[in-house]
């Protein structure tokens, strides 16, 4: 009996390293981060993450200034969801839509190809500085310039349109003073990490942040064609937030 007990104990102990080796093998089985010829992580691929409708829900609500509060009331009562009338989501909204996108990258530029509205943005990643704000034509995605900080791609964007543009699905506004800093990293082949920092001193009393991880889409899956005006009931009937009468939108906030 003593010999039998010793045998059973030894057998049990012998399985412990095997279990540890199994966990280690599973971790090592994850595909490594692909890299460009210059050694930088290759962020290219088809990516998708969960939908986030309200950017401020997890922090107890938006830290509005009086002007921001007024702009929010306007959006909720006299405006229309810009996406409902096929206007571009821009950033940060496009990054929380839950709709797939593709990244294409070379040593000088990175491009984001969004399924949402079939839009795109192309950003230099050579470390150049932002031009004077007065030289920038305002746009939904802003004027972005990129640089590498180690294995993290940092994209700095200014020069945003401030009319008919929301930061999320719940009508939170932004002004033309919005400043967005994105940090993109790829910890392994299957995941893309996105850390976002936003400041808008006209509409918010302090900056805000959020982080998320995108998953690489399954083999054979990729973003699809998105024709926003096709069968779009929002354009015909003005559905969505507020009274939704686009013809009454006067461009004021």
Superfamily name with CATH number, domain 45-243: Calycin beta-barrel core domain (2.40.128.20)
If one compares 95 and 231, the residue with the highest pLDDT of the two is 95
pTM (predicted TM-score): 0.82
Are 196 and 190 a contacting pair, CB within 8 Å? no
pLDDT digits (tens, 9 = 90+) for 178-190: 999 999 999 999 9
* pLDDT tens digits, 35-68: 999 999 999 999 999 888 888 987 888 999 999 9
pLDDT (0 to 100) of residue 237: 65
92 preceded by cis ω (within 30°)?
Answer: yes
Locate tokens 């709709």: which residue? 99
- Reduced to 3 states, what is the DSSP secondary structure of residue 189? coil
pLDDT of 1 above 50: no
Q: How far apart are CA 228 and CA 65, in angstroms?
A: 34
Taking CA atoms, 205 is separated from 62, 64, 157, 160, 163, in Å, by 9, 6, 19, 19, 20
pLDDT tens-digit readout, 71-125 = 999 998 888 888 888 899 999 999 889 999 999 999 999 999 999 999 999 999 9
């Amino acid at each position: 009996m003593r010999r039998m007990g010793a045998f059973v104990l030894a057998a049990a102990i012998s399985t412990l390293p095997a279990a540890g080796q199994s966990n280690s093998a599973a971790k090592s089985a994850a595909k490594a981060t692909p890299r460009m010829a210059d050694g930088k992580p290759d962020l290219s691929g088809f990516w998708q993450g969960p939908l986030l409708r309200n950017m401020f829900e997890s922090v107890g609500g938006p830290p509005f200034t009086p002007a921001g509060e007024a702009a929010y009331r306007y959006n909720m009562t006299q405006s229309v969801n810009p996406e409902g009338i096929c206007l571009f989501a821009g950033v940060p909204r496009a990054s929380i839509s839950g709709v797939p996108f593709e990244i294409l990258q070379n040593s000088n530029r990175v491009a984001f190809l969004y399924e949402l509205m079939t839009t795109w943005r192309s950003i230099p990643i050579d470390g150049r500085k932002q031009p004077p704000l007065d030289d920038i034509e305002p746009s939904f995605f802003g004027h972005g310039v990129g640089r590498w900080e180690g294995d993290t791609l940092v994209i700095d964007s200014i020069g945003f349109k401030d009319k008919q543009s929301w930061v999320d699905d719940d009508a939170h506004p932004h002004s033309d003073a919005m400043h967005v800093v994105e940090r993109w990293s790829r910890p392994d082949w299957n995941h893309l990490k996105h850390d976002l920092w936003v400041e808008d001193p006209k509409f918010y009393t302090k900056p805000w942040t959020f982080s998320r991880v995108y998953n690489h889409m399954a083999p054979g899956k990729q973003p699809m064609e998105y024709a926003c005006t096709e069968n779009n009931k929002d354009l015909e009937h003005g559905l969505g937030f507020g009274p939704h009468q686009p013809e009454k939108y006067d461009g004021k906030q």
